[in-house]
Amino acid sequence: MPAETLLTASDQPMAGPLLITPQVFGDDRGFFYESWNERRFRQDLITAGLPTAEAEGLQFRQDNHSRSSRGVLRGLHFQLPPEPQGKLVRCSVGSIFDVAVDLRRGSPSYGQWVGATLSAENHQQLWVPVGFAHGFLTLSDDAEVQYKASGFWNRDCERSLCWDDPSIAIDWPLQQAGVTTPLLAAKDAEAPGLQTLLSAGEVFA
């Protein structure tokens, strides 16, 4: 599974998130690929610079599956300690624009974002490590998204970041999704901006 570092809006590589492209075997009957291989995933993390001990200690605690209609935006979500979550995200039906925002206060890319289109056609996956907010916009009529999470869901740790915070300026492909304003859950529509989260101490060290 080749993995590549993504670039920010200012064309700088962001340490942490990885776009993973699996090897797909296909013919006129259909296709086959490994959507998850623990050994290869850990090697991707180590190759990208994660310490070996940390990569080998990573475990996934639960798998999640969502279905969304065109123009739905889910996010930006994250969990604080003691139950933070890293997420390995893929889209098995339709297509989405998937985004990770760096919330690591000491990071050179703090407050910046990276994004990638994940689809049933390209089979790509986005690794969103602990320390990042995650969200996606549905580009197709319907999309089914699965992700592995490294921590259990914990209501007390769960937080949201405003999807259109101007200080982050995510370039959401709303026109491609066919909407001018995305469809949001109430908690996402009311989510605070990055500065509010920082003032409340609700970002990562």
Residue 133 lies in a domain: yes
Backbone phi, psi, residue 185, to 5° = -70, 155
Q: Is 147 one of the annotated active-site residues of the chain? A: yes
From the list 52, 49, 56, 61, the residue with the least C-alpha distance to 86 is: 61
Counting the structural domains of the chain, the total is: 1
**pLDDT by 10s per residue, the chain, length 205:** 578 999 999 999 999 999 999 888 988 899 998 989 999 999 999 998 888 988 889 999 999 999 999 999 999 999 999 999 999 999 999 999 999 999 999 999 999 999 999 999 999 999 999 999 999 999 999 999 999 999 999 999 999 999 999 999 999 999 999 999 999 999 999 999 999 999 999 999 8
Q: What CATH code is carried by the domain that includes residue 174? A: 2.60.120.10
Structural domain of 164: 61-199
Q: Is residue 43 part of a domain?
A: no
pTM of the predicted model, to two decimals? 0.94
Structure tokens at 170: 């995510």
Look at phi and psi of residue 49 and say left if phi exceeds 0, alpha if psi is from -120 to 50, else beta.
Answer: left
The catalytically annotated residue of 33, 77, 123, 134 is 77
Spatial CA neighbour of 86 closest among 67, 96, 73, 100:
100
Known catalytic residue: 77?
A: yes
Asked if the structure places residue 163 within a domain, the reply is yes
